[in-house]
Chain A
Amino acid sequence: MTHLRLPLLALFSPGLFWLTGLSLLQAAEPIKIGEFASLTGKEAAFGQSSHKGTALAIEELNAAGGVLGRPLQLVFEDNQSKSGESATIVKKLISRDKVVALLGEVASSRSLEAAPLAQAAKIPMISPSSTNPKVTMVGDYIFRVCFIDPFQGTALAKFAVAHLKARRVAVLTSVSSAYSVGLSKYFHEQFLKDGGEIVADLKYSEGDKDFKAQLTAIRAAKPEAIFIPGYYTEVALIARQARDLGLDVPMFGGDGWEAPELMTIGGAAVNGCFYSTHYSSEAPVAAVQTFIKKFRAKYDNETPDAMAALGSDSAFVLVDAIKRAGSVEPAKIRDALAATKGFEGVTGRTDIDAHRNASKAAVIIEVKDGKFVFVESVAP
């Protein structure tokens, strides 16, 4: 029933306003797009950023007349950064709100929770920034608009060797996050291939607050750098405790670090640390600078981070697919998404490959005196 009703509406509604002569946007039934995000909780900074980007994109698209003559309506729900919640709210978005497509999540574990539901209901889902390769392997309805961890892990391993000149690296992985485990694995493979040595390999779990034990063991191994493929809440605490223990070596990680909280919680401890992410607000590209200007105007002069940029790109890629499909039928949107080629967005060009991933450049950022500073760009 879900799948029948929407296409029917799509067929009839354009005809209706020609008859009644009402303004296009007023009478048209809005196209519902579902979004699930961690708007509160441990990774709230991710969800908030991503959501702001998506909401801005939808607003912009509506101002330009929507798509297929219909306005867009973003139906969003919060999963409180908790496991289990995403499944519940995605079920609600699909069955009650009858969304035509889903946008979400940042954290790979939570995207992996929602993906099987979207796949089973045959509703296309685009993850803006989940980098674990398993996410899109769930099925042919699952897409993403960002790079994946085999690329990010490799880029970070090369960065450690070339830029940090580190041969002896300690790794601290979160065992309860799919993102962390995956990124750690791909880093290991490339770093060992490049002749590096992993001198200590320790684990923690999401929500841990005490890392002194692991860091004491790492200190004893005398590494030249510490790789922490985790999320900012834990990374900030790890950095503080590492400095407390007198560990002064640089720390580096992936896009999970990117949030203002890294600095508010981490303070001086994260100074001189590096992470890789999807875009830099310093890039002298027209698309980036226009996006920043619009974002600042809407959100109280806040500078958008990579999650916001990808949140915006995910909405634009979806709407572009709806336009090319010429229909809001989920199966047709899926086919159009799979055929996305050369879409220019804020984070660069999106080409959806056979595995429904996008291959994009990564940038390395350094935390320097309380600011995020662009270091280098790594081509895919």
Chain B
Amino acid sequence: MTEFLQQLINGLSLGAIYALLALGYTMVYGVLRFINFAHADVFMVGSFVGYYLGQHVPEATLWGGMLVLVAAMMTCALLGVIIERLAYRPLRGGPTLNVLITAIGVSLLLEYSGQIVFGATPRTFPQIFPERHFELGQLSITSNQLVVITVALLLIAGLQVIVFKTRMGMAMRAVSLNPRAAQLVGVNINTVISFTFALGSALAAAGGILYSMNYPSIDPLMGVMPGLKAFTAAILGGIGNIPGAALGGLILGGAETFVSGSQFSTYKDAIAFGILIVILLFRPAGLLGRFTVEKV
């Protein structure tokens, strides 16, 4: 029982990071109908921004950690806007496939320029937030795990508020429903799309920092595997659906953890992804996705 609960905690904290990343995929898909493959590399950049800034703030303080987190989110928000402006906007109106291939190109560009700028050797991520260990009987939880789960929940809730309660959110939903009609009623789609990218990239940066706090060895290719899993999580939850992305992330994180902790640990990715295929066989639009309703 203890082992089960411990694995549940492990799975939750891993799933929360997948969820944060999955939100970025799902939001861009909801508005623009394409998968932004560069998202996972914005996650990597976020983590490196944290690495460099983390050396200039006092180690392991709450305000220092928050400062690094916010600065990384803002840098990546800007990066997201720039990527959209330079790489995706010129292709708008063309076939979706072109943008998709460009996204893969941007992803590779970030990964390999990262290897030149940051170097391909893994770096040790500084400890930016204070760290504590809690013991609940046999269960052990680190403050990092709690921070990950809390920040993820807060950001998901914040995102729901932005999308459903603000004017910008309303504009996002309008663009998602029909870009041309939205433009006709006076919505500036360029602003809306830039905002979507800024928001998604900021979430990726937050994910990057949280991920590196838990797994403090970072390198320019660190985004590849989590990105792939978060993308799968987004599909699993029903792409374009925000609570779906969160749910998908948690399920994937949980499945991976339970398989890794069993005697079948050799096949952990195979089994975790196998579960996915089965779910998608029965619910092709994902767990919470319906074919038309509620896109971002």
Q: Give me the interface of A with B, judged by CB distance under 8 Å.
A: 40-42, 44-45, 80-81, 175, 201-205, 207, 209-214, 216-217, 219-220, 233, 236-237, 240, 244-246, 261, 264-265
Q: Is the CB of B122 within 8 A of A42?
A: yes
A261 and B122 contact, CB distance less than 8 A: yes
A175 with B122: CB separation less than 8 A: no
Q: A40-B121, A209-B217, A261-B122 are in contact. Are A246 and B135 (CB under 8 A)?
A: yes
A40, A203, A246: the one within 8 Å of B140 (CB): A246
A220 to B5, CA, bound (A): 12
Contact B124 A217 (CB under 8 A): no
Decide: A213 and B261 in contact? CB cutoff 8 A: yes
**B217: which of A205, A212, A236 is its contact (CB, 8 Å)?**
A236
Q: Give every chain B residue within 8 A of A209 (Cβ-Cβ).
A: 211, 214-215, 217, 222
Say which residue of B119, B122, B260 sits within 8 Å of A233 (CB atoms): B122
Q: Contacting A213 at CB < 8 Å: which of B10, B124, B140, B225?
A: B10
214-262 of chain B: CB within 8 A of chain A: 214-217, 219, 222, 225, 256-262
B6–A175 CB distance below 8 A: no
Chain B residues within 8 Å of A45, by CB: 121
Binary contact track B103-118/A, C-beta < 8 Å → 1, others 0: 0000000000001000
A212 in complex: contacting residue of B122, B124, B257, CB < 8 Å:
B257
Q: Which of these, A80, A237, A245, contacts B120 with CB under 8 Å?
A: A80
Proximity bits, B264-292, A CB within 8 Å = 1, else 0:
01101100000000000000000000000
B7 in the interface (beta carbon within 8 A): yes
A40 touches B10 (CB 8 A): no
Which of A44, A216, A246 has the most C-beta atoms of chain B within 10 angstroms of its own C-beta? A216
Closest to B131 in A: A244
Whether B2 contacts A265 by the Cβ 8 Å rule is no
- How far does the Cβ of A267 sit from chain B's closest Cβ, in whole Å? 9
CA distance A169 to B140 in the complex (A): 22
A216 to B256, CA, bound (A): 13
Which partner residue on chain B sits nearest A263 by CB separation? Answer: B124
Interface residues of B in 195-228 (CB under 8 A from A): 211, 214-217, 219, 222, 225
The smallest beta-carbon distance between B10 and chain A, in angstroms, is 4
Chain B residues, Cβ within 8 Å of A42: 122, 219
Note all chain B residues with C-beta closer than 8 A to A217.
Answer: 3, 7, 261-262, 265
B127 to chain A, nearest CB (A): 9
B159 to chain A: which residues have CB within 8 Å? none
Please indicate the chain A residues that have their CB under 8 angstroms from the CB of B211 in the complex: 209
Cβ–Cβ contact B225 & A44, under 8 A:
no
A80-B120, A220-B3, A265-B124 known; A213 vs B215 contact (CB < 8 Å): no
**Apart from A210-B14, A210-B215, A216-B10, what are 15 other A-B pairs with CB-CB below 8 Å?**
A41-B120, A41-B219, A203-B268, A205-B269, A209-B214, A209-B217, A210-B10, A214-B265, A216-B7, A216-B261, A217-B3, A219-B6, A261-B124, A265-B122, A265-B124
* B3 A202 Cβ-Cβ under 8 A: no
Given the contacts A213-B10, A216-B10, A244-B140, A175 and B266 also touching, CB distance less than 8 Å: yes
**Contact, CB under 8 Å: B260 / A214:** yes
In the assembled complex, how far is the CB of residue B222 from the closest CB belonging to chain A, in whole angstroms?
A: 8
15 pairs, CB–CB < 8 Å, chain A vs chain B: A40-B121, A42-B219, A44-B120, A175-B266, A201-B263, A203-B266, A209-B217, A210-B260, A211-B260, A213-B256, A233-B122, A244-B142, A245-B6, A246-B135, A246-B140
Return chain A residues, CB-CB under 8 Å to B258.
213
